[in-house]
Structure 1
Amino acid sequence: MTLRPGGPLLSGAVYGCLLNVQDELDRLGDAINEAPYNGAPTGPVMYVKTPNTQVADGTPVGIPADVEQVRVGATLGVVIKDTLTRASADQARAAIAGYTLVNDLTVPHDSLFRQPLKQKCRDGFCPIGPALVDAADLPDPDSLTVRALVNGECRQEWRLAELVRPVATLLADISDFTSLYPGDLILVGVSPDAPLATAGDTVAVEIDGIGRLQNPLVAEGENAR
């Protein structure tokens, strides 16, 4: 099924998750026990990808003049079909409409002290699609492998088995503090060492069984839409 950002299947909010890949959490080391963290997170660490970020497969993404490079955030997107409020993992699993590809483009930064909106919410910084694969056709999403490509070359590969909170657990834990609604999209996390790219490059995300999402990066103002 073809998926269009802003269409009826993606009519809700888009949420991303920080520190949901074990290696990402491990790299904080002892710093996780210091201010402002004061210990490993006890729940999902969330941020939003605002509507201006969402573009379709093949759409050129403009790189602003003040941005030298972006990180290619290859990840799995989970589309919600039923409202979830304080749900169990089994209830969350049953509320998944399907899965898609997402490129969580981000300006490189180190701080996790606050929501990285300036780094993650530039225009076009959330390519989504091109297809929605029905949840019934991917019964074990946590076994999937995610790849990030730059100019056709695979620059990163990681497995969703590395998630701190597997897909259904993540959705259930999010629903403990905010309801999820039909049309919402959850990005399950991005592995560290995401590759860098810049204007002139073509970036892609691949997951076997879901397909390939590809977008050219251009200097802002050069056919960026």
Structure 2
Amino acid sequence: MSYLPKGTVYGVLLNFRAEVEALAPLMTQAPYKAPPKAPILYVKTANTWSPSGSAITVPSQVDAVEVGATIAMVIGPDNDVEGFVLMNDLSIPHASFFRPPVKFKCVDGFLGIGPAMRDAQEVSDPAEFKLEVRINGELRQSVDFSKTVRSASRLLEDVGAFMTLAHGDVLMLGCDAGRPLARAGDTIEISAPGFETLVNTLVKEQA
């Protein structure tokens, strides 16, 4: 049986240094006029969840979607980390980074979820995670989790400062800059040492 979350799934923006550097000029503009001090979260609602191996429908008016390959923490009963899982946080390309609009992030099926949770006991340091994104077999992105703004433990601590995560909730570690685009007909594979590969195929919405 494929893994599916038991709680709320939270995405995190601006947790990779390259992404922060790329968007730095925008952070001083209105309406915010300063870089964010706390983690920026958004929810990937249950309608977005797609198990590994399933097809994900791309709306007919959308030419391409952004692949957001990441690894997420699964929260344990004592607000610790129970495990880790691969995720493909798909979105319709957009310019908003402080408050990502739901209509771009929460499209039906727009969260590929790895086939199994990796037990946290097997992981010595999440900063050692490295994943690869392949589209139709071609390597399109490599992600190194030593390049995050907040480490996994720091992210969990900083989020816990303003909200309580429940047992079974899922908190992504963020998506790096350089996210590739994929289109209907493409097969996306996200792999990382120690994890079962996450695979989803995009299909076009039928008229």
- Contact 1:47–1:116 under 8 Å retained in 2: no
Segments of structure 2 that go 5 or more residues without pairing to the other structure are: none
TM-score (norm 2): 0.95
Name the structure 2 match of 1:4: 3
The aligned runs of 1:14-93 (5 Å cut-off) are: 14-84=9-79
Unaligned runs of 5+ in 1: 85-94
CA distance in structure 2 between the partners assigned to 1:3 and 1:218 by the alignment: 21
Q: Does the alignment pair 1:119 with 2:118?
A: no
Offset, 1:220 = 1.9
Shift of 1:34: 2.2
Report the residue type matching 1:135 in the other structure.
A
Aligned residue type for 1:192: A
In the TM superposition, what is the alpha-carbon distance from 1:113 to its structure 2 partner?
Answer: 4.3
- Paired with 1:72 and 1:29, the residues of 2 have a C-alpha distance of 22
Q: Secondary structure at the match of 1:27?
A: helix
Provide the identity percentage: 40
Other structure's SS at 2:84 match: strand
Runs of 4 or more off by more than 3 Å in structure 1? none
| Contact 2:24–2:35, Cα closer than 8 Å, also in 1 | no
CA contact (8 A) 1:97 1:134 kept: yes
In the alignment of these two chains, the number of paired residues is 207
- Taking the TM superposition and a 5 Å limit, the aligned residue runs for 1:166-205 are 166-205=151-190
Superposed CA deviations along residues 20-39 of structure 1, whole A, max 9, x for unmatched, are 11110111233322222322
1:92 corresponding residue in structure 2: none
1:129-174 Cα deviation digits (max 9, x unpaired): 1111110101111111121110011100020011101101101111
Tell me, what secondary structure is at the counterpart of 1:76? strand
Aligned counterpart in structure 2 of residue 164 of structure 1, from 149, 152, 163 = 149
Q: Deviations over 1:29-77 (max 9, x none)?
A: 3332222232221110011100000010000000011111001111001
Work out the CA distance in 2 between the residues paired with 1:131 and 1:221: 30
In structure 1, what is the equivalent of residue 198 of structure 2?
Answer: 213
User: What is the CA RMSD across the aligned residues, in angstroms?
Assistant: 1.4
Q: Which amino acid aligns with 1:37?
A: Y
